[in-house]
Structures are given as C-alpha cells and as structure tokens.
C-alpha cells in the first residue's frame, strides 16, 4: 500500500480561520473551531466551500483538516476507517453514512 501525506494546519492556527459553509438557505461564515464542534448535523451535503483568515485573506481549502470538510472523499475515508469521524459523539448524526 502506498502511503500519502495530507497537508495539515497546526491546531493553533484553527482559531485564526473562518470557513464559508454552503447551505441551501445561503452561505454563512463561521470560525473553523465552531464548525469543528458543530459539524453539518443531519445535513450531509452542508460543507465548507471556502476559507480565509480572520483579517480576510483567502486560504486554500486544505487549511481545513480533511475530516472536517464533509466532502465525498472525507466521508468515504471516514467510512473506510482511514479518518476518524469527528462528529460521531452522542447528539450528532454520523455523517459518514
């Protein structure tokens, strides 16, 4: 099996990142730490579509750790057990299903 390395941001950097969450009622901006805590809930297609610093400088989506992107790829890797499901604690639905 060939291994690969995913670019990650440092945990300390997460408080400086704002994510834009695509939602059917309209996109919203939220701190990455809030998105990491709350996640998409039962809405499996709600996901970050952009990221920026708190002062507005755009960041690549890779600034958001893969398991928090709620994309087809991240949900597949969670389902396969390669990534841990960050929202599988009681009270949140399992977005990997």
Pair 18, 53: CB distance under 8 Å: yes
The model's pTM: 0.76
DSSP state of 13: G
Phi, psi dihedrals of residue 50, rounded to the nearest 5°: -160, 160
In tens, the pLDDT along 37-65 reads 999 988 878 999 999 999 999 999 999 99
pLDDT over 60 at 8, yes or no: no
| pLDDT at 2 (0 to 100) | 41
Confidence of residue 12 (pLDDT cuts 50, 70, 90): very low
């Amino acid at each position: 099996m060939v291994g690969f390395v995913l670019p990650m941001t440092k945990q300390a950097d997460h408080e400086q990142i704002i994510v834009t969450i695509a939602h059917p009622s309209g996109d919203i901006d939220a701190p990455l730490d809030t998105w990491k805590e709350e996640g998409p809930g039962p809405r499996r297609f709600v996901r970050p579509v952009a990221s920026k610093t708190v002062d507005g400088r755009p960041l690549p989506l890779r600034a958001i750790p893969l398991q928090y992107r709620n994309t087809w790829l991240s949900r597949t890797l969670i389902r396969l057990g390669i990534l841990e499901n960050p929202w599988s604690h009681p009270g949140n639905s399992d977005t990997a299903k």
